[in-house]
Chains A and B, each alone.
Chain A
Amino acid sequence: MKKKRVLPVVWLIIVYTFLYLPIAVLAFYSFTDASMIGQAGHFSVKNFRTLFTTPELLNMIFGTIVLALVVGVLSTVLGTFGAIGAFYSKKRNRNLIEAMNQVPVVNADVVTGFSVCILLVVVLGINKDTYIPLVAGQMALCTPFVYLQVIPALSQMDHRIYEAALDLYCTPGQAVFKVVLRQLAPAIGSGFFTAVTLSMDDYFVTTYTKPAVFDTISTYTVNATKGAQTEIKTALWALSALIFFIAVAVVIAANVRSRRVENP
């Protein structure tokens, strides 16, 4: 019988407190009418009201989410097929692909954003307003991570299933879509999740490639923290609190769902 170890639990509590305390403080104050953290205030939901009624903020949030989803889908598709293709290629080709794939992973996103902007906007003269630099830049950031999630799943997959499907008169297209992808589904799912997360967390690629009228949460916050409007500042607190609650809700839902799967 192992003794229940206290130390790991205590350590985890410390670390999670460190991670969540600032967000919790912000969330707490977002429910008050204080304009400064540490200032006494009364309960109020006016920050949330501002958040949901200011067109500027709503546009910005909507833009961030849509961008993340678009980039997520495109990166996942590209990265998944890239991984499948690379896996079944000659060793030399695969190594080449993986080397190129590593570049955005190890590179600083400042350099990724800067280099994409230089090529597309300065050299090729593509207008940022077409959103092409933005989407391409973010895809360059996210797709390699999708690739890195799918490749291990490919090595654990049973390849004979593909051959079996072909023997059963499936077209190669059907075999890939219905059989291989289904096998890879969990990895593809977590790849998509990673891509969306990276897109939402990004600042640098976005700043260097975005059109002038577009803002994501990151670019907006960086400009807003420089600014003077208290309402916007406190509305952003409400935004943090909101995302936090949504994220926790998602986690709890996932927890409940996985419990249901285990105990039908």
Chain B
Amino acid sequence: MRFKRSMLGIPYVIFLIIFVMAPLAVVFVYTFTNGSGQFTLENFLGFFKSSRTIATLVYSLFVALVTTVFCLLIAYPTAYALARSGFKKKNILLLLAVIPMWINFTLRVTALKEVLDLVEGNLAYYPFFNTIIGQIYDFLPFMILPIFNVFDEMDKSLLEAGRDLGADRKSLFLSVILPLSMPGIASGITMVFLPAMTNYVVLDMLYNSTYIMGSLIGSYFNAYDWHNGSMVSTILLLIIILFSLIGKNKTQNA
């Protein structure tokens, strides 16, 4: 058989099927079965019948929303300023923004906890506030990077054209820069929103004992409750699917 370059992709396809798709399939199966292997919607219904777990979902969404919005507000001007700075400095500064990721987020949150403790006196008084700060601290580099990439590749001539056509700074931003940076924003949001809903380690370390969606998975896992753990995972997956559908819709309309 003649060698085709497309054959190089086969190992990866096999890998994806075994280690990405098959696990998801198993998770789906566990979601809709009970202990004796029969099909059931009980897991799902159990989740939506209890106001506790619904509240957890709402709380997680809220945490993720606030985190994502603030990350965006901080990262966007940062990425812009980085992209517009002098050529040599740009890459160094970008690397500096990414380097914190080498120091595992657990160590970074430990450091943040100490600083917050120093400032606040008693960490436990402001669990939600601390959680948001912690999540932003963890995920900010993930938001800066994609937006920077978009700005970096942005065709400067478009900006010039806009200016030549008499646009002022505000409309230049709204009608040229913002739409062009959308892919970067979308990418950043994907990298931040769902992890912010599920990273319970940040909450644990900052003494916020309220459960978020990730904590539920962790606690079901420790109790060998694969069915409920899979059910929560499925709910999270449905949320991603929902968001990507909305995202596709928006980009189609743009």
B contact residues around A218 at 8 Å (CB): 104-106
Are B19 and A139 interface neighbours, CB within 8 A?
A: yes
Interface residues of B in 88-109 (CB under 8 A from A): 88, 91-93, 95-108
Are A143 and B201 interface neighbours, CB within 8 A?
A: no
Are B114 and A258 interface neighbours, CB within 8 A?
A: no
Known: A100-B16, A101-B16, A255-B92. A217 touches B229 (CB 8 A): no
Closest chain A residue, CB of each to CB of B229: A114
Are A12 and B8 interface neighbours, CB within 8 A?
A: no
Are A119 and B23 interface neighbours, CB within 8 A?
A: yes
Main DSSP-derived SS at the A contact region = helix
B contact residues around A15 at 8 Å (CB): 74, 78, 140
Are A203 and B96 interface neighbours, CB within 8 A?
A: no
CB A243 to nearest CB in B, in angstroms, measures 5
A contact residues around B4 at 8 Å (CB): 88
Cα of A89 to Cα of B137 in the assembled complex, Å: 40
Q: Does A73 contact B (CB under 8 A)?
A: no
Are B20 and A104 interface neighbours, CB within 8 A?
A: yes
Cα of A240 to Cα of B108 in the assembled complex, Å: 8
Choose among B96, B102, B205 the residue that contacts A201 (Cβ–Cβ < 8 A). B102
B contact residues around A84 at 8 Å (CB): 5, 8-9
Quick one: which of A23, A79, A90, A239 has the most chain B CB within 10 A? A23
CB A209 to nearest CB in B, in angstroms, measures 11
Q: Does A58 contact B (CB under 8 A)?
A: no
CB A158 to nearest CB in B, in angstroms, measures 15
CB B110 to nearest CB in A, in angstroms, measures 6
Query: How many residues on B have C-beta within 8 angstroms of the other chain's C-beta atoms?
Result: 82
Known: A118-B27, A222-B201. A240 touches B111 (CB 8 A): yes
Interface residues of B in 208-235 (CB under 8 A from A): 214, 217-218, 221, 226, 229-230, 233
B contact residues around A11 at 8 Å (CB): 77-78, 81
Cα of A11 to Cα of B85 in the assembled complex, Å: 12
Are A197 and B103 interface neighbours, CB within 8 A?
A: no
Choose among A78, A117, A118, A204 the residue that contacts B12 (Cβ–Cβ < 8 A). A78
Q: Does A147 contact B (CB under 8 A)?
A: yes
A contact residues around B233 at 8 Å (CB): 110-111, 114-115
Closest chain A residue, CB of each to CB of B3: A172
Closest chain A residue, CB of each to CB of B247: A106
Q: Does A185 contact B (CB under 8 A)?
A: no
CB A102 to nearest CB in B, in angstroms, measures 8
Quick one: which of B11, B92, B114 has the most chain A CB within 10 A? B114
Interface residues of A in 1-30 (CB under 8 A from B): 8-9, 11-12, 15-16, 18-23, 25-26
Cα of A93 to Cα of B4 in the assembled complex, Å: 14
Cα of A137 to Cα of B147 in the assembled complex, Å: 28
Are B104 and A197 interface neighbours, CB within 8 A?
A: no
Q: Does B236 contact A (CB under 8 A)?
A: yes
Known: A106-B240, A110-B214. A243 touches B15 (CB 8 A): no
Choose among B9, B19, B74, B226 the residue that contacts A89 (Cβ–Cβ < 8 A). B9
Interface residues of A in 161-197 (CB under 8 A from B): 162, 172-173, 176, 197
Q: Does A236 contact B (CB under 8 A)?
A: yes
Q: Does A82 contact B (CB under 8 A)?
A: yes
Q: Which residues does A use to contact B, with CB under 8 Å?
A: 8-9, 11-12, 15-16, 18-23, 25-26, 37-38, 78-79, 81-90, 93, 97, 100-101, 103-112, 114-120, 122-123, 136-137, 139-140, 143, 147, 162, 172-173, 176, 197, 200-201, 203-204, 208, 216-218, 221-222, 225, 236, 239-240, 243-244, 247-248, 250-251, 254-255, 258-259
Q: Which residues does B use to contact A, with CB under 8 Å?
A: 3-13, 15-17, 19-24, 26-27, 30, 74, 77-78, 80-82, 84-85, 88, 91-93, 95-108, 110-112, 114-115, 117-118, 137, 140-141, 190-191, 194-195, 197-201, 204-205, 214, 217-218, 221, 226, 229-230, 233, 236-237, 240, 244
- A–B Cβ pairs within 8 angstroms, 6 of them: A86-B6, A90-B6, A105-B191, A137-B19, A203-B106, A222-B106
Given contacts A112-B23, A254-B92, 7 further A-B contacts (CB under 8 A): A19-B141, A20-B100, A82-B9, A116-B19, A218-B106, A222-B204, A244-B103
